[in-house]
Homo-oligomer: A and B are copies of this chain.
Amino acid sequence: MTVDVERALAEVLPAEAVITDPDVLAAHRNDQAEWAPSGMPRVLVRPASTAEVQAVLRVATALRVPVVPRGAGSGLSGGANASEGCIVLSLMRMSRILEVDRRGMLAVVQPGALNGAVKAAAAEQGLWYAPDPASWEFSSIGGNLATNAGGLCCVKYGVTGDAVLGLEAVLADGTVVRTGGRTVKNVAGYDLTRLFVGSEGTLGVLTEATLRLRPRPPKATTLVAAFPTLVSAGTAVCDIMERTRPSLLELMDRTTVRAVEDWKPMGLDVEAAALLLARSDAGGPQGEEELALMVAACERAGATSVMSTADEAEGELLMGARRFAFPALEQRGATLLDDVGVPVVRIPELLAEVERIAERHGVLIGTFGHAGDGNMHPTVVFDRKDAAALARAKEAFDDILRAALDLGGTITGEHGVGSLKRGFLGAQLGPETLRLHQAIKSALDPLGLLNPGKLL
């Protein structure tokens, strides 16, 4: 069977695009969610064109072999983890930026282009590609699309899907479809663009995207505020969202602040229950006015300290605390990075519940994330060598998902379901909506060959 698949692929692809070297295969069996289940792929293919992707999917369909599409492998939910005996389809040779249309304010790119490369190409034309997952320097646009990746700026500028005008995708049977187009508004037919975005490679393989670019925003003003309680921080978040349009609104809890301060001492208030970081990029006097409104909201909510600046370099220094959040927690041990969303008003309840979960399971959990969107990353830290600690960490991880659902939230705000959280999807969606997912999956991929065991 393996020989048949290889031979069939070798007939339709150049030799260098079909790889069976066991070391290379092993390197392509996981994304960053190492502890999610994965199997050994049968073969890795690296097509260089839509036609080659079609050829791979036709072989897969003819021989009934599962296909796991893959970008840069930076995913955090096991969405790109191989299943045993699958074809791993890497899109990383399709990494060209085909067009940047300055006047039309859009870019046409292949899925293997890194987010950072798209940002750079846009910047060359004086424009901005907004979506900024933390992985922007090393994650691919295709992966960003597959997970509908978020980031720091989406509190003002939306998630990846909000920046997509159109897509080209290859369905499981090799059919090429195009969705959307180059217009900003378009209601001709179903919104298949949005159906593919966030579908984690289970409905089709994305081979091209038309992305919306924006004018570069003005330089940001920045504030950092420390709060004595989670509730006071939550109050400030709501007030800021009601009164201003922050271009960033991030939260770090005490465990995270202490991890950062231990690793990179910068004089953070390690007694605070939470730190907020906020920015306005309204620019000029408006930016300063928004900053003043945000400072006032923090003070009214009971902040014990507020530092703010309209100076860009100083602002970058203040942002350092947030940028170090995850790496600082990683200094303390192995991590399970969770990704839940709750209504913004319920963030304090979520954080309090996470503290109880940490206590109950005897694990350390540092929480940070995108407070303005209610999207939090409770990060369970454990000793990698201690099997019992890993088990407790996994229990805590799952309890965090349950807590988010109990608060009317979601099991994933931006990382995707992948293989990690599929057991929880039904609990969030309910049986009827889950069945509807399966009906759509069957309509697009009747043989169930695309990324099996992910999302659904």
Interface positions of A (Cβ within 8 A of B): 101-106, 126-127, 147-148, 150, 154, 158-159, 161-162, 171, 175-179, 181-192, 194-195, 197-199, 203, 215, 238, 241-245, 282-287, 289, 341-345, 370, 373-375, 408-417, 421, 425, 428-430, 432-437, 439-440, 442-444, 455
Contacts and interface: CB of A to CB of B under 8 A. Distances in A.
A215 B245 contact: yes
A241 B425 CA distance: 40
A212 to B, nearest CB: 11
B191 A161 contact: yes
Contacts of A373: 183-185
Contacts of A344: 104-105, 184
B188 A412 contact: yes
A300 to B, nearest CB: 14
Contact of A409 (B154, B183, B245, B282): B183
A187 B414 contact: yes
A147 to B, nearest CB: 6
A410 B443 contact: no
Given A194-B191, A195-B191, A284-B289, A176 B432 contact: yes
Contact of A189 (B282, B437, B444): B437
Given A243-B215, A374-B183, A189 B425 contact: yes
Contacts of A188: 410-412, 417, 421, 425, 428-429
B185 A150 contact: yes
Contact of A103 (B105, B345, B430): B345
B341 A183 contact: yes
Contacts of A181: 408-410
Contacts of A191: 148, 161, 191, 194-195, 197-198
A159 B185 contact: yes
Contact of A184 (B192, B374, B437): B374
**Number of this chain's copies in the complex:** 2
Given A187-B147, A190-B437, A105 B341 contact: no
B289 A184 contact: no
A68 to B, nearest CB: 18
A122 to B, nearest CB: 12
19 contacts: A101-B345, A103-B242, A103-B345, A161-B194, A175-B432, A177-B436, A183-B342, A183-B343, A187-B410, A187-B413, A187-B417, A190-B440, A191-B194, A191-B197, A191-B198, A192-B436, A284-B285, A286-B289, A440-B440
Contacts of A283: 286
Interface centre among A178, A189, A342, A408 (most CB of B within 10 A): A189
Contacts of A285: 284-286
A395 to B, nearest CB: 20
Contacts of A443: 439-440, 442-443
B190 A374 contact: no
Nearest to A424: B188
Nearest to A428: B188
Contacts of A162: 158, 162
Given A184-B373, A192-B433, A215-B244, 6 more contacts: A106-B343, A186-B412, A189-B434, A190-B203, A215-B242, A436-B444
A199 B187 CA distance: 9
A192 B428 CA distance: 14
Contacts of A192: 433, 436-437, 440
B282 A105 contact: no
Contacts of A238: 103
Given A191-B197, A342-B183, A408-B182, A242 B440 contact: no
Given A195-B195, A440-B443, A413 B182 contact: no
